[in-house]
């Protein structure tokens, strides 16, 4: 009996020390008009496991939201973002378009190690020509092109 209790305590200690990665610290709620369009588009595509969103700002009051499917190589920003959009009881990863411009697709400690050496730092840009996007204003008004 003592062996079972010790084994149980050992397992509890082991699992409590297991690192748990939080999916998102910042949750975004989009206007309902935008949500409706996104839900329809996701249902059309059928594959909603690897989707993520990229938010860009076109001008002072107009935003563009890209709905992407991760068919490309591993997306650094999707994997390391702490932002997500709440949509249909799920959290979908979100990052900003400017993240691709002003950051490098590597962890900070790796970049610091490479500074001052001959090793190159990864710069990655994704093309979004054939990706679904929606333009909208803060009040939820959809902007036609």
Longest pairwise C-alpha distance within the chain: 72
User: Which pLDDT band, with edges at 50, 70 and 90, does 118 fall under?
Assistant: confident
Pick the more confident residue, 9 or 54.
54
**pLDDT for the residue numbered 37:** 94
Instruction: Choose the weakest-confidence range: 21-25, 78-82, 133-137.
Output: 21-25
User: Rounded to two decimals, what is the model's pTM?
Assistant: 0.71
CA dist 17 and 20 (Å) reads 9
Q: How confident is the model at residue 142 (pLDDT cuts 50, 70, 90)?
A: very high
- The span from the CA of 25 to the CA of 84, in Å, is 8
Would you say residue 72 has pLDDT above 60?
Answer: no
Instruction: Measure the CA–CA gap between 108 and 121, rounded to whole angstroms.
Output: 11
Torsion of Cα atoms, 30 then 40 then 142 then 68, to 10°: 70
Contact 137, 63 (CB under 8 A): yes
Q: Which of 94, 86, 87 is nearest to 66 (CA)?
A: 94
Question: Where is average pLDDT lowest: 42-51, 89-98, 114-123?
Answer: 114-123
Q: What pLDDT score was predicted for residue 56?
A: 93
Query: Tell me, what DSSP letter sits at residue 117?
Result: S
């Amino acid at each position: 009996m003592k062996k079972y209790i010790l084994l149980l305590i050992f397992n509890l200690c082991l699992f409590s020390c297991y690192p748990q990665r939080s999916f998102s610290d910042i949750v975004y709620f989009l206007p309902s008009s935008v949500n409706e369009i996104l839900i329809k588009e996701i249902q059309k595509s059928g594959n909603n496991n690897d989707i993520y969103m990229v938010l860009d700002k076109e001008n002072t009051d107009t935003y563009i939201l890209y709905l992407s499917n991760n068919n490309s190589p591993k997306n650094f920003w999707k994997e390391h973002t702490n932002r997500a959009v709440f949509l249909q009881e799920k959290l979908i990863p979100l990052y900003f378009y400017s993240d691709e411009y002003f950051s490098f697709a590597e962890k900070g400690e790796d970049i610091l190690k490479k500074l001052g050496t001959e090793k190159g730092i990864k710069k990655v840009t994704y093309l979004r020509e054939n990706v679904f996007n929606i333009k909208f204003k803060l009040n939820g008004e959809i902007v036609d092109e």
